[in-house]
Amino acid sequence: MSELELFGTDGIRGVANRDPMMVEVAVALGRAVAYMLKERKGGKRPRAVIGKDPRLSGYMLENALVAGLCSMGGDALLVGTLPTPGIAVLTIDQKADAGFVISASHNPYTDNGIKLFSNDGFKLPDVEETKINELMVNGNLTELLPTAGGIGKSFRVEDALERYIAFCVKSFPQDLDLKGMRLVLDCSHGATYRAAPTVFKQLGAHVTTLHDTPNGLNINARCGSQHTEALREQVLAERADVGLAFDGDGDRLIVVDENGVELTGDHVLAICAKDMKSRGELKNNLAVSTVMSNFGLHKTMRELDIDLAVSTVGDRYVLELMKERGGVIGSEPSGHMIFSDIHTTGDGIVSALQLLAVMRRANREISELASVLTLLPQRLVNVDVSRRPPLEELAGVAAAIAAAEAELGGNGRVLVRYSGTQNMCRVMVEGPTEEMTQRLCDAIAAAVKEEIG
């Protein structure tokens, strides 16, 4: 464990079998969590759910987590391959004290990660992650291990998938169904490959599924929420009503309309918030998004007379602001949607069902519903970086940003930040024209690459 701060925006993440995503770290994490939970339970044996996406390294990390938990006197409940939100469901369903997700979300198979849910199905707060981090780095965990009689066990939850599927189906309004609707799903060779087709078929839809044969090496490979080219083609070929793309761990949703046009999380937020307001279900007249949302969303929300609160990047921070302000819907433009009156975390399948329910109620095509939002031209460039110094200390980058903001003159915006999960600097510019937006974004990205690429 070479890094003091192991946790990033969404758990621990990195290249599989390299620090920090190594067996030794997973064992230490299992031990630290089990120890913390035992202390909280007055010495009683804790129970933790462990699930994963299909990437090859998941087996290695799963066994390491089990070893760590059991060695510290905790029990492991294994649910196998299941979407991240499904592990939150099973953590609550099994009355477990915590839930582990082994996944690197939308990253390639070469990466992996581990994130945690509390016993209530919510992602672990930063303060709890800090405690675990301290135990892992400085806690002398091997000196705290119980004797042989205190070692825990592992169990397999045989019907975990069925329990999650039932949860998803139940989230769809009972007075509606999907009969006659043609859907194309892209499961990204990821964790939704069994759950998603089953859910939509049970509700009566005609389903075509793409990228549903994971082999441990093909997760997110030119497919899923990050790459919708094949999905767009299939929607047009089948004259489908809508295409639904999930990421590797199933907590994101990207939608393709009947014309093959990709929609963002901003579109889904605008459509669903408008519908909820019309039905009196938009609590506190509030929707929540992040600083990455398009300026067009702000304009649309003003026109709909809906308050829009803005959080920092990360679905956990969207949810924190929802809790703080009493909201029930939030999103990231990347496709994380949270319907907090239904679920404790982002869920691509559940989000798709809520969107399809709006289509059913309105009896309108998705493109017509999406017309409520007009996006400002946006350009996003991800620059690989070798280090992460404070951006304000980079003179060339600061000058490029200042020049771009001066040219935009209040008719757009610039956002430059480091990724919380990858060694990248994300450069985003929104402006009045495609030409200006691209030119300014590329200039800033070039400055970033020159100084720290």
The DSSP annotation for 6-29 comes to --BTTBEEEETTSTTSSHHHHHHH
User: Does a structural domain hold residue 7?
Assistant: no
Q: Count the neighbouring beta carbons within 10 Å of the beta carbon of residue 391.
A: 16
- Which residue reads 């450069």 in tokens? 427
Same domain for 232 and 333, yes or no, is yes
The domain boundary residue, chosen from 94, 128, 158: 158
Q: With bands split at pLDDT 50, 70 and 90, how would you rate the model's confidence at 239? A: very high
What CATH number should be reported for the domain holding residue 421?
3.30.310.50
In Å, how far are 77, 120, 231, 302 from 226, measured between CA atoms? 31, 30, 11, 29
SS3 374: coil
User: Does a structural domain hold residue 409?
Assistant: yes
The domain boundary residue, chosen from 129, 158, 187: 158
Host domain of residue 82: 12-158
Same domain for 180 and 327, yes or no, is yes
User: Does a structural domain hold residue 319?
Assistant: yes
Same domain for 32 and 142, yes or no, is yes
Residue at 406: amino acid letter: A
Same domain for 143 and 263, yes or no, is no
Q: With bands split at pLDDT 50, 70 and 90, how would you rate the model's confidence at 4? A: low
In Å, how far are 30, 88, 149, 387 from 40, measured between CA atoms? 15, 20, 20, 38
Residue at 314: amino acid letter: G
Average pLDDT over residues 273-285: 98
Positions annotated as catalytic residues are 105
User: Does a structural domain hold residue 97?
Assistant: yes
Same domain for 276 and 210, yes or no, is yes
Contact 4, 137 (CB under 8 A): yes
Strand order, beta sheet including 47-52: 12-15, 111-118, 98-102, 47-52, 75-81, 154-156
Among 423, 77, 38, 421, smallest CA distance to 252 is for 421
Q: How many residues does the chain have?
A: 453
The domain boundary residue, chosen from 123, 158, 193: 158
Contact 106, 79 (CB under 8 A): no
User: Does a structural domain hold residue 6?
Assistant: no
Q: Is the pLDDT of residue 1 over 90?
A: no
What is the Cα–Cα distance from 361 to 196, expressed in whole angstroms?
Answer: 22
What is the Cα–Cα distance from 108 to 219, expressed in whole angstroms?
Answer: 7
Strand order, beta sheet including 413-418: 378-384, 424-430, 413-418
Average pLDDT over residues 413-418: 92
In Å, how far are 163, 209, 243, 250 from 189, measured between CA atoms? 21, 10, 16, 10
Among the ranges given (99-113, 402-416, 436-450), the one the predictor scored with the smallest mean pLDDT: 402-416
User: Does a structural domain hold residue 5?
Assistant: no
User: Does a structural domain hold residue 270?
Assistant: yes
Residue pLDDT, tens place only, 164-215: 999 999 999 999 999 999 999 999 999 999 999 999 999 999 999 999 999 9
Listed in sequence order, the DSSP H helices in 72-115 are: 84-93
Same domain for 234 and 107, yes or no, is no
Same domain for 86 and 53, yes or no, is yes
Same domain for 335 and 394, yes or no, is no
Same domain for 110 and 176, yes or no, is no
State yes or no: cis peptide before 46, omega within 30 of 0: no
User: Does a structural domain hold residue 129?
Assistant: yes
Q: With bands split at pLDDT 50, 70 and 90, how would you rate the model's confidence at 419? A: confident
Structurally, the chain folds into a number of domains equal to 3
Contact 346, 252 (CB under 8 A): yes
Same domain for 222 and 314, yes or no, is yes
What CATH number should be reported for the domain holding residue 200?
3.40.120.10
Q: With bands split at pLDDT 50, 70 and 90, how would you rate the model's confidence at 420? A: confident
**pLDDT of res. 425:** 95
Same domain for 186 and 297, yes or no, is yes
Contact 355, 271 (CB under 8 A): yes
Same domain for 111 and 191, yes or no, is no
For 159, list phi and psi in degrees, rounded to 5.
Answer: -105, 30
Listed in sequence order, the DSSP H helices in 279-394 are: 295-303, 315-325, 348-362, 366-370
Residue pLDDT, tens place only, 108-155: 999 999 999 999 999 988 899 999 999 999 888 999 999 999 999 999
- Residue 344, both tokens: 């404790």
**pLDDT of res. 138:** 87
**pLDDT of res. 2:** 42
Mean pLDDT score across all residues of the chain: 95
Q: Is the pLDDT of residue 3 over 80?
A: no
